[in-house]
A and B are shown apart, each in its own frame.
Chain A
């Protein structure tokens, strides 16, 4: 019986399983279709009941599937389980976080989110790096540290769960936006202004959700965004570049090679910001662009013509 399980056979789920397996622990990897395990310590399964044997379960599924998956998994769980998701998604226009959804869809209460500059390749290859766990429960952070922490992975912790979740979702969106700008031929100055003003926007949204401002300046916020800007090859950046190349949404998604949360997040953030009278011009611009209402150059022109005030 393994103490750790990973739910989701996508690229990130597999990389997480490899990261656990590399530390010498046995890990159960659940996916819808049976797969050949990538490591001897990985036990592949298609039965959720086997996942429930683990103490710590990573949920590595796109946010749109988390609800259904959590309900199905919830039938096998109780209060002893620790659930940690790695999604960059938020649900609905009220930005329900996935930890909230895990809490309502399953009996598990000790939940958390793993975020920061993590990409599948680096995780699987054991490149030195770090990540952050947002959880109210110190034992959840400790369990993640035990599972994937080690000489190549530093795991930090914070109790600002909503901060990590909003920051991670906004970084996904900003990576997409920056990918688009870079793909359109804009240079480092454009990247810098999109990154800094984008993070200011993220912070406003986060604070309105109850997050702590500081979280956005740490691993979950700027730390993660730096990795995206430096070109860690994450799907969001690839998706943005593909859009800039003029590909339609479906083709851009295919080129990105993974589900990209950022596309849906833009519209959700824009709606949330409107309801709460917050300024979120980058999210609103991207939402308009993705819905096909305006062109990329019109969005850039609109962003640049906004009155600039004190920072």
Chain B
């Protein structure tokens, strides 16, 4: 694999592909790519008008790029280093036109590096074969049947919930911006598969360049519309290019996806602090279109991706606990890059019915208003209102970055709220929550790290644990009735005893360390870190989930909720 090129491959094309009128917008991408890049570059040049401004921008880019390339030894880096050093040397002597031209050249290079590709052949191939391949990986004993029976098993394992019919209707009326929670690199694959299966249009999204290091995944992602985001490039110019790129794509009607969490949730908890740069480009696109008289709506669709088993759980929680999240922003050596972990991961799912539930939330306009089936914005009293009123000031639609930044923050709050109510509680999360609460009860007064050192020495009799699980499940179901959360079907239906067995079987053998194991009639909390990881998903509900009659449970729940503020 290492010998394969890391630059994404494209298939040669002998005949120009002419999209059918019914094809999703992204099928037009290749023919529009040059225009899109030109649009992005035009916008960058508009933003940097004066000589001084351009010089500052180029100097910042050169400084960041020189630092980055100095640390590398490959041939490409040497060339790039020379290129940027040359710019720095010439910059002070350049004429105004020269500076503008250099900025144009740099922005164009960056924009082409970001821009993806969309090959309908790859899309059609992936649609046919990938489900079969994934199913085969999950169940190696029936490879042939799996390949023929494309996706049948995957359908059961990855389920989709929410207003899907409405999304199908809305994607024809405006531009959809999907904003899911993020906890695994599998998220983009799972989402892509669900969109395809449910008859929803493919989306373009910015994938970290580290994901492109696997040539096979890189090939599919690159050719299915993903654009590359290189987090190692710190230049402001590059960030501007990225934002402008996503804004131009939304303006032109390309359905898009971004993860507002920015990176995979390290703690396992649902994201609350969202990075909204790209949501901002949705609002920017809306107000730019409207100020030019283009009344194409933008719909934001929050979604939660809920796994019973998380591929990279161990690395993520360890990273969270080391508080190294900031330093290891790009994790390149996690379970995602290890094939044997994939096989083991998928094979574990046989114990469960749904391994992954993707739940789409109610679509909203860029200002957090619900929309009806026709895509019209609704006021809280159910009236339809004109979203243009939000970008109107004294009768005129205007672009106002300060105002749009405020809308973006508010939209972030609406998305975060939606994450809470659209979460689907999975069996492993509830079991982990119950075991973790028992651990907290057993270690009163200790801080989180002292608690986590109690590895394997907290034993809970199975019957007691099952009873605890039963009560907590009831509390969860009552939260569901009040519209606060959703509950996975297996968790709703099965007996606590059976849930316990299935969860232990799911964990067992996938995670390198046992999460919890049964020893002489009791469950031992073997890996507090992983228990914390899975339990964190329900952390915000701890007090409601604790038994009202049990003081020790309530005290432990309070500790768990407070932990949220301090970790």
Query: 1/0 per position for B57-72, CB-CB distance to A under 8 A?
Result: 0000000000000000
User: Across the interface, do A275 and B389 meet the contact criterion of CB distance under 8 Å?
Assistant: no
Most interface-central of B380, B400, B561 (chain A CB within 10 A): B380
Contacts A107-B380, A208-B565 aside, 4 further interface pairs with beta carbons under 8 A come to A75-B381, A109-B367, A138-B406, A277-B558
Is A258 interfacial (CB 8 A cutoff)? no
User: Across the interface, do B387 and A138 meet the contact criterion of CB distance under 8 Å?
Assistant: no
Contacts of A138 in B (CB 8 A): 402-403, 406
User: Across the interface, do A103 and B410 meet the contact criterion of CB distance under 8 Å?
Assistant: yes
Query: 1/0 per position for B250-267, CB-CB distance to A under 8 A?
Result: 000000000000000000
Contact of B380 among A74, A80, A277 (CB under 8 A): A74
Contacts of B17 in A (CB 8 A): none
Complex Cα distance A74/B379, Å? 8
Most interface-central of A109, A135, A208, A276 (chain B CB within 10 A): A109
Contacts of B543 in A (CB 8 A): 275
User: Across the interface, do A104 and B390 meet the contact criterion of CB distance under 8 Å?
Assistant: no
Q: Which residue of B lies closest to A77 (CB)?
A: B379
Is B202 interfacial (CB 8 A cutoff)? no
Complex Cα distance A78/B410, Å? 16
Within 8 A of B (CB), among A264-302: 275-277
Is B56 interfacial (CB 8 A cutoff)? no
Shortest 8 CB-CB distances between A and B: which pairs?
Answer: A79-B390, A79-B389, A136-B406, A107-B379, A78-B389, A277-B562, A80-B389, A137-B406
Is A249 interfacial (CB 8 A cutoff)? no
Query: 1/0 per position for B350-368, CB-CB distance to A under 8 A?
Result: 0000000000000000011
* B265 vs chain A, min Cβ distance (A): 19
Contacts of B381 in A (CB 8 A): 71, 74-75
User: Across the interface, do B389 and A136 meet the contact criterion of CB distance under 8 Å?
Assistant: no
Is A105 interfacial (CB 8 A cutoff)? yes
User: Across the interface, do A137 and B403 meet the contact criterion of CB distance under 8 Å?
Assistant: yes
Is A106 interfacial (CB 8 A cutoff)? yes
Contacts of A75 in B (CB 8 A): 379, 381, 383
Within 8 A of A (CB), among B47-85: none
Q: Would you mind naming 13 contact pairs between A and B with Cβ atoms under 8 Å apart?
A: A74-B381, A75-B381, A75-B383, A79-B367, A79-B390, A80-B389, A103-B368, A109-B410, A136-B410, A137-B406, A139-B403, A276-B562, A276-B565
Within 8 A of A (CB), among B327-384: 367-369, 379-381, 383
User: Across the interface, do B392 and A79 meet the contact criterion of CB distance under 8 Å?
Assistant: yes
Complex Cα distance A55/B389, Å? 12
Query: 1/0 per position for B537-548, CB-CB distance to A under 8 A?
Result: 000000100000
Is B407 interfacial (CB 8 A cutoff)? yes
Complex Cα distance A275/B559, Å? 9
Q: Which residue of A lies closest to B407 (CB)?
A: A109
Query: 1/0 per position for A116-136, CB-CB distance to B under 8 A?
Result: 000000000000000000011
Is B322 interfacial (CB 8 A cutoff)? no
User: Across the interface, do A106 and B379 meet the contact criterion of CB distance under 8 Å?
Assistant: yes
User: Across the interface, do A275 and B380 meet the contact criterion of CB distance under 8 Å?
Assistant: no
Contacts of B410 in A (CB 8 A): 103, 109, 136
Is B321 interfacial (CB 8 A cutoff)? no
Is B551 interfacial (CB 8 A cutoff)? no
Within 8 A of A (CB), among B390-406: 390-394, 400, 402-403, 405-406
User: Across the interface, do A105 and B380 meet the contact criterion of CB distance under 8 Å?
Assistant: yes
Is B46 interfacial (CB 8 A cutoff)? no
Complex Cα distance A80/B400, Å? 14
* A294 vs chain B, min Cβ distance (A): 24
Is B409 interfacial (CB 8 A cutoff)? yes
Contacts of B407 in A (CB 8 A): 109
Complex Cα distance A175/B167, Å? 52
Contacts of B189 in A (CB 8 A): none
Complex Cα distance A276/B367, Å? 31
* B445 vs chain A, min Cβ distance (A): 13
Contacts of A139 in B (CB 8 A): 393, 400, 402-403
